[in-house]
Amino acid sequence: MKGRLTELGQIPTNNDWRTARQVFRKVHLNRQDITISLGKGDLGPAAIAALRERLSAGQKLVEIGGKAQRLDLIIPGRPVFRGGRTWLASPDGASMARRTAADPTLLQGLKRAHKVLQDHHVSPVTTIDQNRSAKGIDDSYLRRIANIAFLAPDIQAAIVEGRQPAGLTLEMLQDMTLPIAWADQRAALGFSPASSL
């Protein structure tokens, strides 16, 4: 939230939360959006119009009159809390975080998963007859890593390109029982349906 207010010019860059708290009135977490109420301060119509131009798609800035005039910034999405991490998800559950680079730990885990399968002569695309020559994976760590190679291709591509949800970690993938169906994997891991990836 602080970052978004900095982008909108409401908070100077490189300031701490004390500065941000002076601008905030309250925050409402709704099912489909987050409403941040801000003090209107000395903002005139031109400044408010300039703020509206800087909003991202789907965001709204509403003026509330009365005794305590304020601005309500409405951001589509909802917070997701998982494993001590918090990030913003769109109403359909997909992460709204902007990543610029792939997670090296997650990439290494995906690479290792495919290597384990290769070493044991197993592949997500082999037939039952081909799997008869496969070796079992004795090590429990390697078994947990190997499951990652069975992620949907679009999920694996998103990991390689750094487009995975903000809360997705290698540890999380290792510790969970991944659904077999790709659509269920997308839902469980916070991805959009395949058509929008």
**E-assigned strand segments in 24-140:** 24-29, 33-39, 60-64, 70-76, 78-82, 85-89
- Report the predicted TM-score, pTM, of the whole model to 2 decimal places: 0.54
Which residues sit opposite 106 in a β-bridge?
Answer: none
Q: 2-76 has which CATH code?
A: 3.30.1360
Element (H, E) at 48: helix 45-53
Joined together, the tokens standing for residue 83 give 């494993």
134 compared with 94, residue with greater pLDDT: 134
Q: What is the pLDDT of residues 38-97, one digit of tens each?
A: 887 767 788 788 888 888 778 898 988 877 788 888 888 887 777 777 777 777 666 665
Nearest-5° Cα angle at 125, 124 to 130: 100
Lowest mean pLDDT among 10-24, 72-86, 111-125, 182-196: 10-24
Longest dimension (CA), the chain: 77
For range 144-158, the mean pLDDT = 92
Question: Range(s) for CATH 3.30.1360 in the chain?
Answer: 2-76
Residue 3 banded pLDDT, cuts 50, 70, 90 = low
Question: How far, in Å, CA of 35 to CA of 196, rounded?
Answer: 26
Residue 111 has pLDDT above 90, yes or no: yes
